[in-house]
Structure 1
Amino acid sequence: MKKSIIAVLLAMVLVFSLAACGGSDSDKSAGDAEKVTYKVGTEPTFPPFDTTDEEQNIVGLDMDLIKAIGKDQGFEVTFENLSFDGLVPALKAGNIDIIAAGMNKDDKDRQAQVDFSDAYYESKLMVAVKEDNNTIKSVDDLTKDMKVAAQTGTTGANKTQELQKQGKIKEAVILNGLDTAMLQLINGDVSAVINDKPVTEAYMKKQPDKIKMVGEPLNAENYGFAVKKGNTELVEKINAGLKNIKEDGTFDKLVDEWFNK
């Protein structure tokens, strides 16, 4: 009789143990399922914010910032390589969830199409010329016979097109990719390039003695991460994570790493 009772008790203990183990696996699976992965779109020709490494992996300050924000807020990210002017359409179509591309959040046209996070970086537009050019010393020295290049979809492109409309330059040459614009400048196909200051500085570090910046900043702009219009939940996550990584020092560490490479 005692043996039967002991056998029943052991069987009950085994059942409860298996049930407990099953519950643990279930909880773990549920936790994994709740961890969302967002698709982040960028154009990786905008170093140090968005670029590629030797193995063509998408890297940059924007990538590290959104990953740090995701770690803080409990989501993961993957990166999509798109043309800059294709980012907003891709976001609106639902093909990506976030834009991390050094995008100017102050642009009124963009604000009407997407929602932006809080600003994470203030940049300034500058005029770049060849290193041996001593004629162009500021935007005021650009003339009606000059071609000026900029990267498509950027504030620099808007400024260059504005100068053409005002009759201050001959042609606004809008190109895909910063490297292409800078190559045209170095080759003498254009007289100047208008671009964001930190991005031009990064290019100058990689290509020393090729170009220089001249004059005063043309204007300041604030970069923000963009999400689909009305996606308040995701904006709040990004803002909360951005605030936290600024407070714990992660933000300053990443900025220092990328601007001093």
Structure 2
Amino acid sequence: MKKLVLAFLMLISTTVFADDINLWKKSTLNKILERGELIVGLEPGYMPFEMKDKKGRIIGYDVDLAKKMAKEMGVKLKLVPTAWDGIIAGLVTEKFDIIISGMTITQQRNLKVNFAEPYIVVGQTVLMDKVLKDKIKTAKELDKAEYTVVTKLGTSAEIAVRKFYKKAKILTFDTEADAASEVLSGKAAAFVYDQPYNVLFMADKGKGKLIHLDTPLTYEPLGWAIRKGDPDFLNWLNNFLRQIKEDKVENFYDDLYDKWLKDTSWLERVQ
């Protein structure tokens, strides 16, 4: 009887071990290590997270994060520029391993992909035409039929705009720059988008021309998206994030924030 029980336990252990091996082989993390390359999907154009410099190179907050991630894995980095409306589909169909592209964690997106813990939290704020500064003091006051509010198509900003504004005319554009230009040219009253982008826009093209209503309309955590059913990769990403946030000797995370979200000298490289 004891021999039977022992044999049964050994069979179970062997089966569990084999299942673990199979799961590891299927893990994106294992595929990255075997390939020797981390493939990242992103959409250049969301300053300061990812954009192209004057030489056409992709730079930004997320790019530096991706470089650090690849370094800690001991692999090379490959960036795959992808249109925003197809970026989740690109991940699901394995065109890249991970999305690192200023993506807001939402319940709707979470139905299709899994997210690591948030690496930064932003909110939607409003850039308003300066001519309205004496008439409009809060974002809510823009919700009138006489005003046009613009944002980027297919983003969390669009979701926020459609929830927040019921009377104002809403227009969407393919890029943040195109939407913001509508306000600069006087064709729209306000532009709604992520706070970091708006802060930087005000330091450059919007300076002296627009008003920043900087009280966030929303709470929006940004996260790295991966395919579902991959606990090994998710575990590694969360531990990587925890390490760079808490390591005050190297101070990578704080320096990254200062480099891209406080200092605006990099703007000279992309103009």
Q: Same fold (TM over 0.5)?
A: yes
Equivalent residue number for residue 139 of structure 1: 139
1:211-230 to structure 2, matched below 5 A, reads 211-214=210-213, 216-230=215-229
Q: 1:115 to 1:76 in 2, by over 3 A?
A: farther
Give me the TM-score of the superposition, normalised by structure 2: 0.78
Residue 152 of structure 1 and its aligned partner are, at CA, apart by: 1.9
Q: Any conservation in 1 of the 2:128–2:183 contact (CA below 8 Å)?
A: yes
Report the 3-state secondary structure (helix = DSSP H, G, I; strand = E; otherwise coil) of the residue aligned with 2:257. Answer: helix
Deviations 1:90-147 (A, max 9, x none): 1111112111111111x10101100111111011111111234312322221112222
Q: 1:33 to 1:220 in 2, by over 3 A?
A: closer
Residue 78 of structure 1 and its aligned partner are, at CA, apart by: 1.2
Q: Alpha carbon RMSD of aligned pairs, Å?
A: 1.9
Distance in 2 separating the partners of 1:176 and 1:48:
18
Equivalent residue number for residue 153 of structure 1: 154
Q: Show structure 1 runs of 5+ residues with no match.
A: 1-31
Deviations 1:200-253 (A, max 9, x none): 111122222232211621111101111112222222222222222223311111
The size of the alignment, in residue pairs, is 226
Residues 1:101 and 2:68 are matched in the alignment = no
Q: 1:230 to 1:75 in 2, by over 3 A?
A: farther
Residues 1:60 and 2:66 are matched in the alignment = no
Deviations 1:144-183 (A, max 9, x none): 222211112221111122245xx3212x211111111111
Q: Show structure 2 runs of 5+ residues with no match.
A: 1-31, 265-271
Residues 1:205 and 2:206 are matched in the alignment = no
1:110-259 to structure 2, matched below 5 A, reads 110-134=109-133, 135-142=135-142, 143-164=144-165, 167-170=166-169, 172-207=170-205, 208-214=207-213, 216-248=215-247, 249-259=251-261
Report the 3-state secondary structure (helix = DSSP H, G, I; strand = E; otherwise coil) of the residue aligned with 1:212. Answer: strand
Letter aligned with residue 226 of structure 2: V
Equivalent residue number for residue 28 of structure 1: none
Amino-acid identity (%): 27
If you compute each CA radius of gyration, which structure gives the higher value, 1 or 2? 1
Distance in 2 separating the partners of 1:85 and 1:137:
34
Residue 198 of structure 1 and its aligned partner are, at CA, apart by: 0.9
Q: 1:73 to 1:244 in 2, by over 3 A?
A: farther
Give me the TM-score of the superposition, normalised by structure 1: 0.81
Distance in 2 separating the partners of 1:176 and 1:69:
29
Q: 1:247 to 1:141 in 2, by over 3 A?
A: same
Deviating beyond 6 angstroms after TM superposition, the runs of 4 or more aligned structure 1 residues are none
Equivalent residue number for residue 84 of structure 1: 84
Report the 3-state secondary structure (helix = DSSP H, G, I; strand = E; otherwise coil) of the residue aligned with 1:101. Answer: coil
Distance in 1 separating the partners of 2:241 and 2:188:
39
